[in-house]
Amino acid sequence: MSKNSIKEKNIIGFTINGQAVEAEEGWTVLETARYNGFHIPTLCYHEAIEPSGACRLCVVEVREGDWSKVVISCMYPVKEGIEILTDSPRVHNVRRWVLEMLLAECPASKEIQALAAEYGVSSSRFASVDKENQCMLCGLCVRVCNEIVGVNAISFASRGTSKEIATPYKVPSTACVACGSCVTVCPTGAMQARLDQVRGDISQRTGHGHAH
Amino acid sequence: MKDSINEKKARIGVFLCECGNKIASKIDLNALENHVKNDPMVTYVEINPYPCSAPGLKAVRKAVEDKKLDRIVVAGCESRIILKKFERELLDSGLEQGQIAVVNLRDHVAQASDGEPEELAVKAAKLIGSWAAGLEALTPMPRQKVEMNGPVMIVGGGIAGYSAAHELIRHQIDVRIAVDTEDIEDEIRTVHEFYPGERHYHRHLRKIMQEVMESPYVERITGCDLKKVMGPVGDYSVAFSTQYGQTQQYNASAIIAALDTHMVNQGDNYGHDGERILCHTELEEYIWLHGPLHENLVFWVNDLENDQPWAHLSARSAWNMARYIREHSGLAQLTILYNDRIQLPLSATERAKSRQMGIKWIPYDGSVRPTVLAGYITYTRRDVQIEEELNWDRLVLSPVRGIGVEVLKVAEILGYDIVEGRFLERNPQMVRPEQVGQEEKLLAGSARRPCDLQESLRQGRRAASKVVEMVEKARAGQLYAPKVIVTVDESKCTGCGLCKEICDCGGIEPVEGAGGGIPRRVDPMVCTGGGTCAAACPYNALTLQTNTFGQMEARTATLVRQLKSNEVMGFACNWGGAAAADLAGLRGLKSDPGFYLLPISCIGQLDPRVMGRAFLEGANGLLLIGCPPEQCHHSYGLDHTWSRVNVIKKLLSLCGLERERIAMAHADLNDPKHYVRIVDIFMATMERLGPIRRDTTTKERLQGLYETLQNPRMRWVLGAGLRRPREETYPGDQRNALAYDETLSDVLTEEFLRARVLNILRGAGEIVRGNIVANALGEDKSQVAQCLAGMVKEGLIHRIYKDRTPYYNIG
């Protein structure tokens, strides 16, 4: 985060959907695009938190010289002379794939359903294991708990298909301060149902129950 | 209250976030920009697509620099989440603590109702104006730097003190350690009294102790008892009394208390005689004196039978002792009898080793209690269910763990919360880490919670590493007190101690000195900024830094003055109501658009004065939304607000207004629908009641209401009824609740009348006759005469006779 020494930074010029934009070293394509009014969908991105590129929805096409590739814009640094396409057929194709996978992963999430409908995705060709699942494991809640709140009450538990967001040993965490930041940032609404498993019975921990 | 620094007019910038189209599509931002521009308080307004993104921040920084802004309002989303980023990114631009306010337009305005964009712009402008007024009333405070003076003091005499000291000297930090004896061997000799069966660990322990004792960074204090600890973090003063009754003072930057569990035998139970039937510590002592035994030894792990939940520790120490005896004696027969409800605390290797050494582990069914007989002990296995017997020469029982008298004394001096029958470990405070500087006096050792020696030493190291972190930060000049803390104006403080009684974080303490009437001060590193203490102070001696009552009143007054007659304002706490409001917006739940919400970090911060000011300035109602009952993150801020609302209700009815105009509600952050319901119900009530008719009488009475709330006597009586930390019952649940409430009513009636009389006299400016005062108030003449006589007696007003008629004026 050396954004503070702005004065020595070079201006980087590139184009988004054919429109010339200016940025500074260290900015990401997503930030620059959104600031200039280009809409890019995201789920796992939050301005207050470092990006992690988990949901892959923010993909854009980068053209540089005579080659092109699809990258996630939330972590892709700006570069002189590149061409960004936020809504090319190739980008849409990838986003639809991503949305199909997300839809299969969390069939119960209204937010994902709405986003998928925007891209014309109504069903998924992938198998859904849990019809009630809302969580897409983007880890935004874990990051907010670590970066913003600073208590690290929740984290990823287990691996592979049984990976989930949980407190250590899956018992309510005394590190949790029940601030609800995880619920607020959760892009799919999954955390709302889980919060009680994380914070436990707060009344046991306030008043006469706490330290000092 | 204005300071000389504050004389210079604040330069406030407002940044209106488009938030993609989440705000821009709902609120007419151009109209909003014009509204805000017309606000004389605001120097600069800008619409910014994303103030929180890197390009947006660049624009904000540029505006701050060009327009020389010293406070900014960002009208965007949740302050709870985004504020930290602005504070971090704009620190270099000279915006410090409290100089940035974030108003949640997205969830509280844009998404909360389906109003016309222009209407919502008007609503947004009112909220922004309110926050700008709050910022204008701010006295900028530089971050409070905390220094760490002097060595780290380790008290309590526990074993964990050595590992703590060891960790500290590794970082070249000076340590003062209070020990019972300077002879390491003497210390080692008594370790088993607190940690039996840890003999294999003594060599390692000896090494740690030696290194500590020989280190040039360590100063030892021997043969002294801890007497008193005073001062704030970084500058403690610790007093010890020596054997000869003298007092010795030391200064310390931090304090680590190493306290061990006390172990006693089981008394007469199970035939305990300390000889043939003995407990772990006694067996250890026996081995020290007579060497290992060559007998048939049975360890009965009977913690569960004694209602002690530490069976795993006892089983472990039994196994360690058995192992030691086996290693030194081929003849001894060793059996460990344990309740099959406990999990065997042995690793696979240890189980194998146990078999190899011939140490028998026998589980028994706990529902059939083993009986100790002469030379035998009976037990029943779960799978066999036939009573069996075990022969013993010596039976070893589990010790009983508790907190010893010495430890209790030290813990009391250090101010730990002591609950009978419980160990010292407590849950951490439920506030964000940045709200507390550091855990004040660090605690290590088994008195926290029984544990084995390794764990105890680990705790010592952990406590020390926290201190190391603080000291290193302080050395680099980077140790700062939290942003929102309470400060005491010592010139106003009378030392009544009310704040200390209701403080839940332990941050308030008396200033050092002798005698009564000593002012209090606040330890900035301990205070969590709950602020209910400041809202309770009868003499206004306490101030909540960066969120003062001046600011809260400015915010409230500015908002209320702009409200239409059908609009209502409310406060909600960031842990409950405001968080629920954020979530309601995110979920797209619509609530009454006439409700204006001001988030606050704890509802307990609201001085009754602020509530009174709202009514005085034109509010027709006031809704306070806190956390669910018993879930206040600052312990009892919620209950205190309940008491304050009660006072306002009484005063409202004295004013001839409806008591329902102020209401207290509870909202869980995870239940946004409930929040919406609360708002809608209150708005319906307000619609039923209609606006307050503000004729001269009502205005005069509301002025009286506002002034009564500043009266020290009334605040004292209110303070007496506030729920104290660790009190188990609600204020309304207490035995004398009704009697108290009646007294409170009497005091309020009296003080309300007095405040009004003072107002009339102040307004008159000259001497006035009693009858005229009574007429002006519209109250009974004899009642007013009685009130005037009382006030003369107390020296509040003067009585002057003119033609034998009494006249009154303010002295």
State yes or no: pLDDT of B53 exceeds 90.
yes
Q: What is the pLDDT of residue B613?
A: 95
Delimiting residues of CATH 3.10.20.740 domain(s) in chain A:
10-132
**B758 touching A, CB under 8 A?**
no
Is the predicted pLDDT of residue B44 greater than 50, yes or no?
A: yes
Number of domains in chain B: 4
Asked if B54 is an interface residue toward chain A (Cβ–Cβ < 8 A), one would say yes
Taking CB atoms and an 8 Å limit, are A192 and B583 in contact across chains? yes
> In chain A, which residues have their Cβ closer than 8 Å to the Cβ of B586?
184
B83 and B65 within one domain: yes
The encoded tokens of residue B344 equal: 């065997």
DSSP per position, B792-808: HHTTSEEEEEETTEEEE
CATH code of B205's domain: 3.50.50.60
- Which ipTM did the prediction report? 0.92
Q: What is the CATH classification number for the domain harbouring B500?
A: 3.30.70
pLDDT band with cut points at 50, 70 and 90 for residue B487: confident
Spell out which residues of chain B touch residue A25, defining contact as CB-CB under 8 Å.
none
Please tell me which residue of chain B has the smallest CA distance to A11.
B55
Contact state of B726 with A184 under an 8 Å Cβ cutoff: no
Distance from A48 to chain B by nearest Cα, in Å? 5
Nearest to B431 among A177, A183, A204 (CB): A177
In contact, B442 and B155? CB cutoff 8 Å: no
Same domain, B395 and B412: no
Q: Is B447 within the bounds of a domain? A: yes
Using the Cα atoms of residue A176, residue A181, residue A187 and residue A188 in order, give the sign of their dihedral.
positive
pLDDT band, very low/low/confident/very high, at B516 (cuts 50, 70, 90): low
B115 and B11 share one domain: yes
In chain B, helix, strand, coil percent, each to 5? 40, 20, 40
Last residue of a domain, one of B433, B450, B475: B475
Q: What is the pLDDT of residue B5?
A: 45
Within 8 A of A38 by CB-CB distance, chain B residues are none
Has domain A140-206 been given CATH number 3.30.70?
A: yes
Enumerate residues 696 to 725 of chain B having a beta carbon within 8 A of any beta carbon in chain A: 725
B433: chain A residues, CB-CB within 8 Å: 149-151
**Given an 8 Å threshold on Cβ–Cβ distance, is A208 in contact with B728?**
yes
Q: Has residue B760 been placed in a domain? A: no
Pairwise CB contact (< 8 Å): B61 & A178 = no
Residue A211: the pLDDT is 44
Q: What pLDDT, in 10s, does the model give residues B632-660?
A: 888 888 999 999 999 999 999 999 999 99
CB A84 within 8 A of CB A39: no
* B53 in contact with chain A, both atoms CB, cutoff 8 A: yes
Q: Min CA distance, B446 vs chain A (Å)?
A: 16
B426 interfacial to chain A (CB closer than 8 Å): yes
pLDDT at B189 over 90: no
B378: β partners:
B371, B389
| Whole-angstrom Cα Rg for chain B | 33
Q: Which CATH number do you get for residue B10?
A: 3.40.50
CB B190 within 8 A of CB B404: no
- Which helix (H) or strand (E) is B701 found in, with range? helix B696-708
Q: Which residue of A has its CA nearest to B670?
A: A192
Residues in CB range of B414: below 8 A, 6 or more apart: B155, B229, B255, B257, B441
What chain B residue is nearest to A9 in terms of C-alpha separation? B58
pTM: 0.88
Residue of A nearest to B723 (CA): A207
Point out the residue among B55, B628, B629 whose CB comes nearest to the CB of A32. Answer: B55
| pLDDT tens track for B363-381 | 999 888 899 998 999 999 9
* B506 interfaces chain A, CB cutoff of 8 Å: yes
Cβ atoms within 10 Å of B145's Cβ, excluding its own: 13
Are the Cβ atoms of B430 and A212 closer than 8 angstroms?
no
C-alpha–C-alpha distance, residues B459 and B772, integer Å: 73
A10-132: what CATH class? alpha beta
Q: Which residues of chain A, if any, have pLDDT below 50?
A: 1-6, 211-212
**CA-nearest residue of chain B to A111?**
B587
| A6 with B636: Cβ contact below 8 A | no
Mean pLDDT for the stretch of residues B598-620? 94
Smallest CA–CA distance from A153 into chain B, residue: B432
DSSP code, position B480: B
Q: Does B449 touch chain A (CB under 8 A)?
A: no
| Residues composing chain B | 811
Could you tell me if B226 and B136 lie in one domain? no
Determine the pLDDT at residue B439.
59
Contact B80 A46 (CB under 8 A): no
A209–B434 CB contact, under 8 Å: no
Greatest distance between any 2 Cα atoms in chain A = 68
Instruction: Find, among B267, B291, B281, B319, the residue nearest to B191 by Cα.
Output: B281
Q: Give the domain range for residue B310.
A: 267-399
Same domain, B439 and B355: no
Residues B74-83 have pLDDT tens digits of: 999 999 999 9
Q: Nearest-CA distance from A63 to chain B in Å? A: 22
Whether B50 sits inside 8 A of A185 (CB atoms) is no
pLDDT in tens, B300-315: 999 888 888 889 999 9
pLDDT score for A7: 52
How close A11 gets to chain B, by Cα (Å)?
Answer: 12
Residue of A35, A148, A206 lying closest to B635 (CB–CB): A206
d(CA B549, CA B609) in angstroms, rounded, equals: 8
B123 lies in the same domain as B38: yes
Where do the CATH 3.30.70 domains begin and end in chain A? 140-206
**pLDDT over threshold 90, residue B427:** no
Q: Does B325 touch chain A (CB under 8 A)?
A: no
Place of tokens 């619409």: B47
Cβ-Cβ contacts under 8 Å, A1 against chain B: 88-89
pLDDT attached to residue B414: 84
Round to whole Å and give the CA distance between B421 and B588.
49
Would the pLDDT of B93 be above 50? yes
Position B389 in a domain: yes
B-chain CB neighbours of A36 within 8 Å are 49, 55
Dmax over CA atoms of chain B, in Å, equals 113
- B129 and B1, same structural domain? yes
Cα–Cα distance, B79 to B85 (Å, whole number):
10
Looking at the complex, report in whole angstroms how far the Cα of residue A192 sits from the nearest Cα belonging to chain B.
6
Domain assignment of residue B790, yes or no: no
**Paired tokens of A138:** 């983007």
Residue (of B557, B272, B216, B236) closest to B398 by Cα position: B272
B666 touches B675 (CB < 8 A): no
Report yes or no on B543 lying in a domain: no
Backbone φ/ψ region at A207: left (φ over 0), alpha (ψ -120 to 50), beta: left
Residue B435 contacts A where some CB pair is shorter than 8 Å: no
Helix ranges (H only) for B655-695 are 672-689
Other Cβ atoms less than 10 A from the Cβ of B514: the count is: 5
Position B141 pLDDT exceeds 90: no
- Domain assignment present for B765: no
Pair (B323, B381) in one structural domain? yes
Q: What tokens appear for B312 in the block?
A: 């795993």
Distance to chain B for A162, nearest Cα, Å:
26
Examine residue B800 and state whether it is found in any structural domain, yes or no: no
Conformational region of residue A82, where left means phi above 0, alpha means psi within -120 to 50, and beta covers everything else: beta
B161 and B248 fall within a common domain: yes
Please give the order of strands across the beta sheet that includes B797-802: B768-769, B805-810, B797-802
Choosing among B90, B669, B723, which should be mutated to test the A contact, i.e. which has the most A CBs within 10 A? B669
pLDDT score, position B275: 86
Q: Average model confidence (pLDDT) for chain B? A: 89
Binding-face residues of B in 61-100 toward A, CB within 8 A = 61, 78, 80-82, 84-85, 88-89, 92
CB B585 within 8 A of CB B669: no
Chain-centroid distance of CA B93 in Å reads: 32
For the segment B707-735, what is each residue's pLDDT rounded down to a tens digit? 999 999 999 999 988 888 777 776 666 77
Last residue of a domain, one of B112, B143, B174: B143
Q: Do B631 and A211 touch (CB under 8 A)?
A: no
| Alpha-carbon gap, residue B702 to B418, rounded angstroms | 45
Structure tokens at B238: 């610790």
A199 to chain B: closest CA residue: B430
CA nearest to B59, candidates A82, A36, A15, A1: A36
Same-domain pairing of B256 and B277: no
Closest CB to B52 among A47, A174, A184: A47
**Is B429 within 8 Å of A23 when comparing Cβ atoms?**
no
Same domain, B37 and B125: yes
Instruction: Return the structure tokens found at B596.
Output: 């204006």
DSSP code per residue over B144-213:
-B----SPEEEES--THHHHHHHHHHHTT--EEEEES-S-HHHHHHHHTTTSTT-GGGHHHHHHHHHHHH
Question: Taking chain B, what is the end-to-end CA distance rounded to the nearest angstrom?
Answer: 23
Residue B312 CB coordination number (10 Å):
17
**Is A179 within 8 Å of B52 when comparing Cβ atoms?**
no
- Average the pLDDT over B417-430 and give the result: 77
pLDDT computed for residue B30 by the predictor: 94
B 632-661 residues with CB < 8 A to A: 632-633, 635-636
Compare B330 and B476 and report the one with higher pLDDT.
B476
B461 and B504: one domain?
no
Q: Rg of chain A's alpha carbons, rounded to an integer? A: 20
